[in-house]
Amino acid sequence: MKINTNFPGFNISAEGLSIQRKRMNLIAENIANADVTQTADGQPYKRKFLEVVAKQNPFVNNTVQEMPTLQMEATDQAHISNIDNTQNNNSGNGTELSYKEVTDQKSGDVVYMPDNPNANAQGYVQQSNVNIVTEMVDMISASRSYEANLTALNSSKQMVKDSLGI
């Protein structure tokens, strides 16, 4: 998400909101597929998580880089951008972020379930590597981070509003 203004606090908070929303979507997908022992490729479901990397430091010589003035862009009808596996965003503050959906390659537990149609010849089934407790902790963390970014955005809005009132 990008807010095209000359106020870097808006863009930083908007990027944080976008990152946390994507994290929550991946966590929800993990929880929904936690019990899937066989996907279309014949393997158990693998946990997914979001990897975010900053490509450039916004502070050069202790000063913020000059920000370009950008034009307002039209959004889609739902006002929510589609989630891509990889996106490059410039938040307007000199930092370019790279978002990447990563699949955890660790194997899940092997459970003896001879009646399961996905069991091997010995009666064992390879389970998903999703741990519900870990996912719930990650969901709480993402939710609180989202709330913190929303609070920062509202504080930035209030500061701009108060400065216009002077």
* Contacts of residue 49, Cβ cutoff 8 Å, sequence gap at least 6: 23, 26, 101, 102, 104, 138
Q: What average pLDDT does this structure show over 116-125?
A: 90
Work out the percent of the chain whose per-residue pLDDT is above 70.
71
pTM: 0.70
Asked if the model's pLDDT at residue 156 lies above 70, the reply is: yes
Of residues 6, 34, 1, the one with CA closest to residue 20:
1
Measured over the CA atoms of residue 155, residue 157, residue 162 and residue 166, the dihedral's sign is positive
Asked if the model's pLDDT at residue 77 lies above 70, the reply is: no
pLDDT value of residue 71: 52
Report residue 82's pLDDT band, with 50, 70 and 90 as the boundaries: very low
Q: What is the mean pLDDT of the chain?
A: 79
Q: What is the pLDDT of residues 15-36, one digit of tens each?
A: 889 999 999 999 999 999 999 9
Q: What is the pLDDT of residues 32-64, one digit of tens each?
A: 999 998 899 989 999 999 988 876 655 555 555
Asked if the model's pLDDT at residue 138 lies above 50, the reply is: yes
Asked if the model's pLDDT at residue 94 lies above 80, the reply is: no
pLDDT value of residue 88: 46
